[in-house]
Structure 1
């Protein structure tokens, strides 16, 4: 855990800086109206920054409440600064090295119990802008008051729904010092925004890790599929090369065998035209696999069987239907089938 402390400190500092920049930018773009309640020496308050038409009168702080007419209309949605008299605060000068200017708030918080009668949790405090002191030093004036005193004014004005409430005082010769500020829930708080930025960064880091793991798994899966495809392609190429070498089971050999084992229709027709006599006319011809069926008209149907079987292309010629003769036909109507002997070479 101790090794993570520097990293946590760097993260807190970075998100705090980003949140402060964002809040400052938003406040510059959408700056609420500033209203000041300035305490006088008699304990009364004067209003600065309110619209004249609101007509706030008889502004005073009694019994833990601000009593005035139309004060709620002026305060609602505004940034309220309550400027208290310097007599209510304890002032202490603090000399520091010039290098401590960037860490002034933290240094003051760490030393508040030494400079005042209260601890950091019991007081509200702030410091003026640092002024140069000597060649390598700065001086600032610390203003502190009991937290209970400040919270009485804050709680009284918070019921009127301002956007922010600040407690300030005018230090003699050092200008106005802000010792406390509280924003409403609807306002953008740098601390809350910093925590949300850390949460967003955490979610983004987890999402990046999950995406990296998924990408690695997907890459391994795609690599496996690619290797399988390459293996299959290599097998097919090897099979094609083996086929081109003339093996008996190669695709080229199978095509060559089929070429010679399947009867060619042109050769069958040519052979049939040679064996049939001129007085024979074929009206139907069916060629299916190794079987030939023909039908037609001839003068002498029985003589066709030996003529067909004499050809080297046909065997087992026979009638598959009765031979008939009608008065309108010039000869006998025959139906013959025969087996084809594939001979696809001259």
Structure 2
């Protein structure tokens, strides 16, 4: 657990900074319209907006935490709303600091807010005016502070209209401090730093999970392919060994079996050559079947019985006989015969 906590904190800090940078960049690219609500003595607000249309009210009432005026939704939606409250709602105090503290002004005031105001840091909202030199080695700033409850009553009244951001300010006339912002809230829908940081963390987690699954699948596929490759290599080695063993000789070797088959199986070319030598010129073979060592021929001849002794005289044939009756049709030029014989395997034709 102790190992993952620093990693989680580092990732959270990184995604938070990235989210803040993205939102800041988006705000610079897409600048929302500024709508300024300036509080009057009666508690209502005067409206200041660039390019204000006729249907946008010039003044808005405020009572019991609710703004009352027509057409507020198109006025506030997507805009930056600055609520300028009267100074009487704030505690204003000057603060003198060393000149080198100008870069750390907000942090210094936050650390001392419980001494400068009646409220703690969690209860108060505050802002500081731009520091002004009050001597060679000192600066002076005006602090405007009020309770968070007061500021949020105005912010909540506006946030229901979905503005891009809401800021609470006041005009400090003392020492020409100008306008001081005490609170700001980004309200661009769901695009705030917290939501975007959480989305980035979820995206990183999804990418990490996908990478882990990919690595696991790749390792499994690699192991499976490696096993198949080993099995193929083993089979190839076994087959090569068997071929080498057969090449060394022996009656049971594959080479010997092929050699025996070569001499024991009759060759079709030799059978045809032998038949052409023993059959007379007036004999025509129309069908020939050779299966293993059995030969069957059919055809037409002038003298069918004389073919039997002629075939048996050849050293390539034996046991010649008729396997079907000899017939003679009126249209045939001779007798139609059907003879079968056993073939004696030989690889050379007898002269």
TM category, shorter: 0.7 to 0.9
**Residues 282/203 of structure 1: CA separation in 2 closer, same or farther (3 Å cut):** closer
Name structure 2 gaps, 5 residues minimum. Answer: none
**SS of the residue aligned with 1:318?**
strand
CA contact (8 A) 2:34 2:82 kept: yes
2-structure distance, mates of 1:285, 1:321: 14
2:301 is matched with which residue? 297
**SS of the residue aligned with 2:54?**
helix
Shift of 1:146: 0.8
Q: Which residue of 251, 254, 258 corresponds with 1:255?
A: 258
Q: Which residue of 305, 309, 312 corresponds with 1:309?
A: 312
2-structure distance, mates of 1:182, 1:252: 91
Shift of 1:327: 8.5
Moved more, 189-198 or 36-45: 36-45
1:237 maps to 2:263: no
**Residues 344/57 of structure 1: CA separation in 2 closer, same or farther (3 Å cut):** closer
2:87 is matched with which residue? 86
1:167 is matched with which residue? 168
CA contact (8 A) 1:35 1:75 kept: yes
Matched residue count:
343
Task: Provide the aligned C-alpha RMSD in A.
Answer: 3.9
Moved more, 192-201 or 230-239: 230-239
**SS of the residue aligned with 1:224?**
helix
**Residues 75/322 of structure 1: CA separation in 2 closer, same or farther (3 Å cut):** closer
2-structure distance, mates of 1:137, 1:211: 62
**Residues 100/249 of structure 1: CA separation in 2 closer, same or farther (3 Å cut):** farther
2-structure distance, mates of 1:251, 1:198: 67
Shift of 1:37: 1.8
2-structure distance, mates of 1:155, 1:141: 27
1-structure distance, mates of 2:75, 2:332: 124
Shift of 1:14: 1.8
1:157 is matched with which residue? 158
1:48 maps to 2:48: yes
**SS of the residue aligned with 1:53?**
coil
Shift of 1:340: 0.8
Shift of 1:15: 1.6
Shift of 1:241: 3.8
1:116 is matched with which residue? 117
Shift of 1:80: 1.1
**Residues 312/37 of structure 1: CA separation in 2 closer, same or farther (3 Å cut):** same
**Residues 261/140 of structure 1: CA separation in 2 closer, same or farther (3 Å cut):** farther
Moved more, 200-209 or 238-247: 238-247
CA contact (8 A) 1:39 1:45 kept: yes
Shift of 1:324: 5.5
Superposition pairs for residues 266-277 of structure 1, below 5 Å?
Answer: 266-276=269-279
**Residues 264/213 of structure 1: CA separation in 2 closer, same or farther (3 Å cut):** closer
1:15 is matched with which residue? 15
**Residues 84/247 of structure 1: CA separation in 2 closer, same or farther (3 Å cut):** farther
Shift of 1:81: 0.7
CA contact (8 A) 1:32 1:163 kept: yes
CA contact (8 A) 1:325 1:331 kept: yes
**Residues 280/320 of structure 1: CA separation in 2 closer, same or farther (3 Å cut):** farther
Shift of 1:341: 0.5
1:125 is matched with which residue? 126
CA contact (8 A) 1:81 1:167 kept: yes
